[in-house]
Amino acid sequence: MTRTRQIALTWILLASGISILWGSCVGPSANKWVDFRAIYYGTRCLMERHNPYNVSELDRVYRTAEGERPSESAQAHQSVTLYVNLPTTFIFIAPFAMLPWGSALLLWMTITAVLFILAAFLMWDIGARYAPKVSLLLICILLANCEMIFGGGNTAGIAVSLCLVTVWCFIKDRFVPAGILCLAISLAIKPHDAGLVWLYFLLAGRVYRKRALQSFFITAVIALSAFLWVSHVAPHWMQDWNSNLSTISAHGGINEPGPASVTSRYGYMVIDLQSAISIFRDDPRIYNPVSYAICGALLLVWMARTLRLSFSPSRAWLALATIVPLTILVTYHRPWDAKLLLLTIPACAMLWAVGGPIRWIAFLVTTAGVVLTADIPLTILVILTRDLRISTAGLPGQMLKAMLMRPAPLVLLAMGIFYLWIYLHREPERG
């Protein structure tokens, strides 16, 4: 390992250490690792032959194991017992659910940390070819703002990391079987995080399409196994799942993107495009179609361009830098899913190496995307704007409120448009 790599790895470990340490302190006091708690007890519920999608059955298993938790908020309790994760999650959580809570949590967090650090280093390995210092700066900013992953134990930490490892394996053409397996697992756990990345390799053609199809086949086998397991234990699980999804997405629900959501004034707010459009019209019949139309139009242009181009690493990084913001914008996502922005750093580094004004535009846009989806800046923003009263009677007031209270989706949209423009008109090579 060269001295440059040693320095980079040291900074990556330090930045990750901030999030791991801070998240470990926040976990038992505030979040109580609520996301991992949900999948852990949901899986235990299934393993005890109960329906995890039935609120009363899961609540019974949860209370039997944990007892009464008077300090637990209603929101946190609902996040655990209103189970909405895909059945495929049970396959991967089952080994953890066999362990006592403390051991399972420690193992989960250790694996999350190792995979996340590995994924970040691999992204630096690509970006360092063009601009090592810029790549390291952006990666460290992002890594120092992952407290929610380590404080909540969300599956995004592992799903996003595996997706990043896959991209490195495919584009570098190294450890390809491992990359295929990583993509399959990422798709099975969080398809709304890895789905459009998978789509890129499917459209890229040649050997990459074969790899994408192999990953999809493995995911399909996992999904079928999970479906059979859950259906055998709880034949009516799908109706309960749909009911839970409707509850958390309803007006004022914990996953609703609108301003009435109980999580809209927290650092872990929903950051999809619907959350910004809802400021102008808090009606899902409006903000959903508008969001899908905007993202769909950009996605169609991106797909057409990808199908026309032959594969090259520089084109791949630009294509991925375009698709990552669209991934976060098009449907339900929270800041921990936005760690997928690590995939935009190699493209930013390439543009930095090109020089000229474009390097600064790329750097500023990418930095804004990383910072405004980061845990600490988002929390500070929420605190500063929590008591702010802005009239939304007119368009200027609505625009101001959207910029102050929902900056993440707006900057992600700008980021997606910028990289799409570059993808359509330029192909930077190493300077």
Q: 210 lies in a domain?
A: yes
Instruction: Give the whole-angstrom CA distance, residue 142 versus residue 347.
Output: 16
Q: 172 lies in a domain?
A: yes
Q: 115 lies in a domain?
A: yes
Q: pLDDT in tens for each of the 431 residues of the chain?
A: 688 899 999 999 999 999 999 988 876 766 678 899 999 999 999 999 999 999 999 999 988 887 656 556 667 777 788 899 999 999 999 999 999 999 999 999 999 999 999 999 999 999 999 999 999 999 999 999 998 999 889 999 999 999 999 999 999 999 999 999 999 999 999 999 999 999 999 999 889 999 999 999 999 999 999 999 999 999 999 999 999 999 888 888 888 898 888 777 777 889 999 999 999 998 999 999 999 999 999 999 999 999 999 999 999 999 999 999 999 999 999 999 999 999 999 999 999 999 889 999 999 999 999 999 999 999 898 888 877 777 767 788 888 888 888 999 999 999 999 999 999 987 655 43
Instruction: Give the whole-angstrom CA distance, residue 247 versus residue 386.
Output: 25
Structure tokens at 373: 């989806």
Q: 127 lies in a domain?
A: yes
Which residue shows structure tokens 């992953």? Answer: 149
Instruction: Give the whole-angstrom CA distance, residue 418 versus residue 416.
Output: 5
Q: CA gyration radius for the chain?
A: 21
In the DSSP assignment, the letter for residue 27 is I
Exposure string for 221-250, b = 16+ CB within 10 A, e = fewer: ebbeebeebbeebbeebeebbeebbeebbe
Q: What's the confidence (pLDDT) of residue 272? A: 94
Q: 407 lies in a domain?
A: yes
Q: What's the confidence (pLDDT) of residue 430? A: 44
Question: Quick one: 192 exposed, middle or buried, by C-beta within 10 A (0-12, 13-18, 19+)?
Answer: middle
Structure tokens at 175: 């450890």
Number of domains in the chain: 1
Q: Report the SS3 class of residue 385.
A: helix
Structural domain including 300 reads: 3-425
Please say whether the beta carbons of 240 and 53 come within 8 A.
yes
Question: Quick one: 394 exposed, middle or buried, by C-beta within 10 A (0-12, 13-18, 19+)?
Answer: exposed
Closest CA to 194 of 12, 339, 85, 26: 339
Q: 430 lies in a domain?
A: no
Q: What's the confidence (pLDDT) of residue 302? A: 97
Residue type, 258: G
Q: What's the confidence (pLDDT) of residue 428? A: 54
Compute how many other C-beta atoms are within 10 angstroms of the C-beta atom of residue 303.
16
**Dihedral sign computed on CA atoms, order 41, 43, 45, 50:** positive
